[in-house]
C-alpha cells in the first residue's frame, strides 16, 4: 500500500476534514459580520418590550428594557462561530407558574438586533 500506514492515512484524512471546517459559516447559516449588523433601530425599546411580552404567559408583567451594548457585540453560536449584533437586555418578573418554583423573581433575556430586527434571543450575554 505504497508505504502508508493506517495511522498516517487516518491522520491525513482527519487533516483534510478539519481543513474544510470554518468558524464562520456565512449568512446562509445565520451568521453575519460586524460590518453587516447595521444600526440599532430608534424604536428598539418598544420592539424589545413587545417581543418579550408576546412570549410571556402574562403580558402585563413588570418589564424593563435595559440600555443596549455600546458597540456591536458578539455571541457564540455553540462551537460553530459567532453572531454579531446590538445586545439589548430585557429584565422581567417571573412567577411560580412560569417555572420559578415558589418564588417571585426576575429573569433577563438578551435580544440580538441586526438588520434592524431581532435575530436571536439568549439567556446569557455571550451565548445565543
Find the domain containing 94 and state its range. 24-122
Band of pLDDT at residue 20, cut at 50, 70 and 90: very low
Residue 18 has pLDDT above 90, yes or no: no
Q: Return the HEC string of 12-50.
A: HHHHHHHHCCCCCCCHHHCCCCHHHCCCCCCCHHHHHHH
Q: Is residue 97 part of a domain?
A: yes
Q: Is residue 46 part of a domain?
A: yes
| 12 domain-assigned | no
Q: Could you read off the pLDDT of 83-105 as tens digits, one per residue?
A: 899 999 999 988 666 665 556 68
How far is Cα 7 from Cα 14, in angstroms, rounded to an integer? 10
What is the pLDDT at residue 11?
57
Does residue 127 lie in a domain region?
Answer: no
Tally of domains within the chain = 1
Domain annotation covers residue 111: yes
Q: Within a domain: residue 58?
A: yes
Is 101 a member of any domain? yes
Residue 104: count of CB within 10 angstroms of its CB = 9
Residue 65 domain-assigned (yes or no)? yes
Amino acid at each position: 500500500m505504497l508505504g502508508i500506514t493506517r495511522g498516517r492515512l487516518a491522520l491525513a484524512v482527519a487533516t483534510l476534514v478539519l481543513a474544510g471546517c470554518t468558524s464562520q459559516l456565512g449568512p446562509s447559516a445565520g451568521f453575519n459580520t460586524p460590518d453587516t449588523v447595521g444600526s440599532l433601530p430608534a424604536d428598539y425599546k418598544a420592539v424589545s418590550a413587545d417581543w418579550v411580552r408576546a412570549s410571556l404567559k402574562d403580558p402585563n408583567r413588570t418589564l424593563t428594557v435595559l440600555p443596549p451594548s455600546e458597540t456591536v457585540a458578539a455571541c457564540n453560536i455553540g462551537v460553530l462561530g459567532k453572531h454579531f449584533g446590538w445586545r439589548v437586555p430585557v429584565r422581567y418578573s417571573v412567577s411560580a407558574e412560569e417555572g420559578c418554583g415558589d418564588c417571585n423573581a426576575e429573569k433577563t433575556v438578551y435580544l440580538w438586533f441586526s438588520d434592524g430586527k431581532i435575530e436571536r434571543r439568549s439567556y446569557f450575554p455571550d451565548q445565543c
